[in-house]
């Protein structure tokens, strides 16, 4: 998404990105890059599964941010430059409620299961990695029939939007994605027994139109400011700097 602070008339740097990093990018990293370089950034936001389909159909950009396992496939297929690949952050799964609503106890697996079965409706994404995992999880926990009978599912996008509209009273997604929606409160992460961390990385497309500017953008994504932005955006930073946890 282009910023008004970027230089007028400059061709945008095009990025394809998974949704998990949107909050950190929009609030901090993209504006910082545009202010420093005068180059606007245009981002295509979609779940990794959707981005991989679009890439498979021939769509390209200058840089891409994806789940590591999908980035591995692009490296193997020669679609990104492996030497440019950088690790960014991990996303963890959590629950959210509408702002001001009571937060259920999910501190233990037993309490988590009770919260899921007591919910009027749970919103989750059929197309995103979080929703695919959650669908399998409720099967393993023996809760699929109960949860899905009144679930609010979406093909892609932010599940927490269904809290704001009142269609659901619990939303499942990566915490960073839940935080991207105004008007919601984070309940907390999944219990450790059923938690998964999803690592994200960035790389430059092999046939990028602006590889030098893309390299500058990736440098912004691994800076000390980025480390702070990921943490504030609900992610677990994978960057290492002296004095950080």
161, two tokens: 């939007």
Q: Would you place residue 10 in the very low, low, confident or very high pLDDT band (cuts 50, 70, 90)? A: confident
Identify which of 70, 76, 44, 26 has the alpha carbon closest to the alpha carbon of residue 201: 70
Who has greater pLDDT, 128 or 140?
A: 140
pLDDT at 7 exceeding the cut of 80: no
Same fold, 13-90+199-237 and 91-194: yes
In a 13 Å sphere around the CA of 60, the CA atoms on its Cβ side amount to: 14
Confidence of residue 240 (pLDDT cuts 50, 70, 90): confident
Domain boundaries, the chain: 13-90+199-237, 91-194
CATH number of 13-90+199-237: 3.40.190.10
Percent of the chain's residues with pLDDT above 70: 95
Q: Which fold has domain 91-194?
A: D-Maltodextrin-Binding Protein; domain 2 (3.40.190)
């Amino acid at each position: 998404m282009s910023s008004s602070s970027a230089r007028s008339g400059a061709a945008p740097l095009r990025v394809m990105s998974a949704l998990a990093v949107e909050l950190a990018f929009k609030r901090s990293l993209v504006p910082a890059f545009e202010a420093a370089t005068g180059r606007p950034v245009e981002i295509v936001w979609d779940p990794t599964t959707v981005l991989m389909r679009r890439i498979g159909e021939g769509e390209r950009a200058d840089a891409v941010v994806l789940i590591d396992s999908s980035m591995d496939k692009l490296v193997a297929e020669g679609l990104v430059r492996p030497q440019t690949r950088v690790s960014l952050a991990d996303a963890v799964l959590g629950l959210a409620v509408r702002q001001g609503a009571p937060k259920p106890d999910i501190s233990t697996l037993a309490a988590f299961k009770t919260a899921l079965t007591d919910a009027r409706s749970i919103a989750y994404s059929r197309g995103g990695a979080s929703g695919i995992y959650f669908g399998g999880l409720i099967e393993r926990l023996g809760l699929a029939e109960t949860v899905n009978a009144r679930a609010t599912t979406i093909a892609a996008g932010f599940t927490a939007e269904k809290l704001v509209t009142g269609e659901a009273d619990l939303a499942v997604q990566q915490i960073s994605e839940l935080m991207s929606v105004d008007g919601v409160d984070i309940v907390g992460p999944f219990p450790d027994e059923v938690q998964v961390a999803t690592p994200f990385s960035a790389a430059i497309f092999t046939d990028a139109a602006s590889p030098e500017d893309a390299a500058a953008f990736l440098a912004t994504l691994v800076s000390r400011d980025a480390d702070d932005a990921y943490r504030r955006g609900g992610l677990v930073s994978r960057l290492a700097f002296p004095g950080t946890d």
